[in-house]
Amino acid sequence: MNTSELVLPSHLTRRAVIYIRQSTTQQVTHNQESLKIQYALTKRATDLGWPEAGIDVVDIDLGRSGATTEGRTGYQSLVSQIALGQVGVVIAYDATRLARNCSHWYQLLDLCGQMSCLIADRDGVYDPSSINGRLLLGLKGQISELELNTIRARLTAGVLNKAKRGDLALPLPTGLQRTVTGEVIKTPDREVQDRLTLIFQLMLQLRTSPKVLRKLLSQNLLIPIRDRYGDIQWRQPTIGRIIPILKNPAYAGAFAYGRTRIRYENGVPTKRRDHIPADQWKALVKGKYPAYVSWEDFERISDMLRDNYSEYVRRQTRGVPRDGKLLLQGIVACGHCGRKMTIQYKDKPRYGCSHQATSAAGPTCQMIWSEQIDQRALARFFEALSVAEIDLAGRTMQESDRRRDELLRAEQQQVERLRHAAHLAERQYRHSEPENRLVTAELESRWETALRQLQNAEETLAIKQQQNQCWAIPADLLEMLKQVGPALPKLWAQGVLSWPQKKLLFRSLVDKVVLRRNNDQVAMRIVWRGGDVTEESVTITVGRFEQLSHSQEIEKIIVTMAKQKQTDKQVATHLTHAGHRSPRSDRFLPSTVARIRMQHSILHQEGPGRPRIIPGHLRANQLAKQLRIKPHWIYDRIHNGTIRVEKNEKYNTYLFPDHPHTLEQFQQLVSGTVKTLAF
């Protein structure tokens, strides 16, 4: 039976949708009567003339808030069906079920008005395309939003007032617990107390959280973590577990409220939260809890963490080119974790990334000798300096700058549009009548939304303007590169340019270099100014045979050829021609073949054996045994020139006179009486 004159035959040919929603899972579980009332709206649809087969019930948004449409798949599906002209009427218990935000509510009214879709609740049926219907529905939406804001303001005021006294029962961190009377005490477990105290003491002593982490791991000490059931679990320490302990003011005995706020992206709240400075906290009451560290020491630790983070951020920048032979200083990144790699000149220059070791005391990401990497990067740089490449690079960079400027111009236009919208919303608010609170509240909400959107857009524009570097090569530099380019390799090798100048010139074309090591192969990715990328694999020296990429295959070849009675030299020559090489060498050495052969117990004589005793002479190992020192001590000083002696061609080894005076000379060298020896 049709009980409304607004329902036309054209409406009855489409679907009737019953929209059911409750805000929280607790309401879904406990407010069963409300659910029954909403499901009973199907009778309302049949009374309006829809057959049961033409009625759909949308209830997948149960437990979702109506303050936003984010995550409400049922509502989004309903809007899509309305836009497609498939819905004749939307029925809800009241306006609050559909939306508690006027911006979403009026969008729904506009869409229903355009598609001739009715809206019905327990009180009546409304046509959003008519003046009276839109007026009534608009008032219902405003009352719905006002009700939500009033409830929220009332609850927030009570919570904030309680927080300012420090009486709000916030979740407590590990090491603190609340008794049945509401009193906060330290966890009775003395080990938990001592471990938390130790963390703060180590931070005050060592001054950085990675050092605290390494100290705990070196002593095999676990840290207490409270699980979701409230039980204490002992876990491996990590930076992600230590930092929250050091930053929590509850351990200094202070009650703090409002330390974080919800992060909004494009006006939609997310699950992520941003930490805010201490001077912006909504409430801070000192001396409310039993303390593990004094407030003064807690502030010192906070300053340390803030300074350390500032230093970390500073090191993430490219930095200025400095002295030193590492060409990629400041522009080389780790291909494993993405962090900036550091440079080390100890023993042998190298690039290293220790992020995993620093953050979780794990293994070092990678360590790469710089020689082959710098040579290959420099070769590609010289190739790019040919006249044709320079012209192409110049055009590419100009095109890239043009595209970047277009995107930036679009961002600026969007900011101008949002600024105009904010000014318009402000004028509408200021011209409204203060007595009409419903309208004023809606206009104020629109103004705040416009200001928030404008602020987000301006912040995004500021970031992009900072990142919008001009990659185009200036005309004078372009002409200079064309003239100098062919001669640059020679000038580079002659030392005409200082290392800072070389690095600055290299950076004029290269934005960054990404390295990812796999045994003796390094995947190198050169990112040029303008966005082009060059990728290739670089073979580097390694310290052990096992680190070679094809070590197992090489070992099989050595065993097979050795069993065929081929000499070590023949096997080494074959492997060199096949493209293999020994560790720390550019070719395959017979000594490497001999070592692998001996490991497999394959013995054969390649020539006359070296006699163990040579009359009138001592070998280095024999001399070391008499001096009670290691043989490599003698070999090291032969190689660095402290001991000057020629290798005997016949025996292919270093020989020393078998005379007491020889022992006396070496004893003087060992004791430091003499600085050099000559034989």
Q: What is the CATH number of domain 617-678?
A: 1.10.1660
Region 359-382: mean pLDDT is 81
Protein fold of 176-315: Hect, E3 ligase catalytic domain fold (3.90.1750)
Q: How confident is the model at residue 267 (pLDDT cuts 50, 70, 90)?
A: low
- 71-85 burial string, b = 16+ CB within 10 Å, else e? ebebbeebbebbeee
Query: Which CATH architecture group holds 9-161?
Result: 3-Layer(aba) Sandwich (3.40)
Give the mean pLDDT of 533-549: 82
**Which is more confidently placed, 67 or 252?**
252
Q: Which position has the higher pLDDT, 36 or 398?
A: 36
Q: Decide: 424 and 435 in contact? Cβ < 8 Å.
A: no
Name the range with the highest mean pLDDT among 304-318, 469-483, 557-571: 557-571
Most confident of 192-201, 461-470, 623-632: 192-201
The strand pairing partners of 538, in sequence order, are 522
- Does residue 435 surpass a pLDDT of 70? no
Averaged over 636-649, what is the pLDDT? Answer: 84
Tokens found for residue 641: 């020139």
Query: What is the pLDDT, as a whole number, of residue 406?
Result: 63
Q: Is the pLDDT confidence value at 248 over 90?
A: yes
Q: Which residue has the tokens 């002209």?
A: 85
Q: What is the pLDDT of residues 146-184, one digit of tens each?
A: 877 787 788 788 888 888 888 888 889 999 999 988 899
Q: What's the CA dihedral at 27, 28, 30, 36 to 10 degrees? A: 110
**Which position has the token pair 């992009």?**
464
* Percent of the chain residues past pLDDT 90, beyond the cut: 14
Closest CA to 99 of 78, 126, 68, 70: 68
Quick check: 142 and 441 in contact, CB under 8 A? Answer: yes
**Can you tell me the distance from the alpha carbon of 612 to that of 665, in angstroms, rounded to the nearest whole number?**
23
Lowest mean pLDDT among 55-64, 236-245, 489-498, 638-647: 489-498
Structure-model confidence comparison of residues 462 and 187, the more confident one: 187
CB-CB neighbours of 650 under 10 Å: 9
Residues in the chain: 679
Instruction: Please determine, for residue 307, whether its predicted confidence score (pLDDT) is greater than 80.
Output: no
Q: Alpha-carbon distance 131 to 613, whole Å?
A: 116
% pLDDT > 70, the chain? 86
Using pLDDT thresholds of 50, 70 and 90, give the confidence band for residue 256.
very high
Q: Tokens 């798949």 correspond to what residue? A: 73
At residue 184, the pLDDT reads: 92
Whether the predicted pLDDT of 611 surpasses 70: no
Average pLDDT over residues 189-196: 91
Q: What is the pLDDT of residue 266?
A: 62
Average pLDDT (194-213) is 90
pLDDT tier for residue 360 given thresholds of 50, 70 and 90: low
- What is the average per-residue pLDDT within 419-424? 83
Per the listing, tokens 């992520």 go with 272
pLDDT of residue 450: 83
Rounded Cα distance, 557 and 559, in Å: 6
Mean pLDDT of the chain: 82
Q: Mean per-residue pLDDT for 598-614?
A: 65
- Model confidence at 14, pLDDT cuts 50, 70, 90, reads very high
Confidence of residue 90 (pLDDT cuts 50, 70, 90): very high
Range ranked top by mean pLDDT from 292-296, 365-369, 385-389, 413-417: 292-296
The residues spanned by each domain of the chain are 9-161, 176-315, 387-471, 545-599, 617-678
393: pLDDT strictly greater than 70: no
Of 588 and 436, the structure prediction assigns the larger pLDDT to 588
pLDDT at 15 over 60: yes
Q: Return the number of other C-beta atoms located less than 10 Å from residue 414's C-beta.
A: 15
Angle between helices 387-430 and 370-384 (to 10 degrees): 90
* Amino acid residing at 493: A
Q: What is the pTM of this model?
A: 0.45
Average pLDDT over residues 269-275: 76
Long-range CB contact pairs, 601-606, < 8 A, 24+: 602/559, 602/562, 602/563, 604/562, 604/565, 606/567, 606/568, 606/569
Residue 552: the pLDDT is 84
Going by the DSSP 8-state scheme, the letter that residue 589 receives in this structure is: -
Rounded Cα distance, 456 and 76, in Å = 25
Residue 59: pLDDT band (50, 70, 90) is confident
Give the highest mean pLDDT range of 139-153, 281-295, 349-363.
281-295
In this structure, of 48-52, 219-223, 314-318, the range with the lowest mean pLDDT score is 314-318
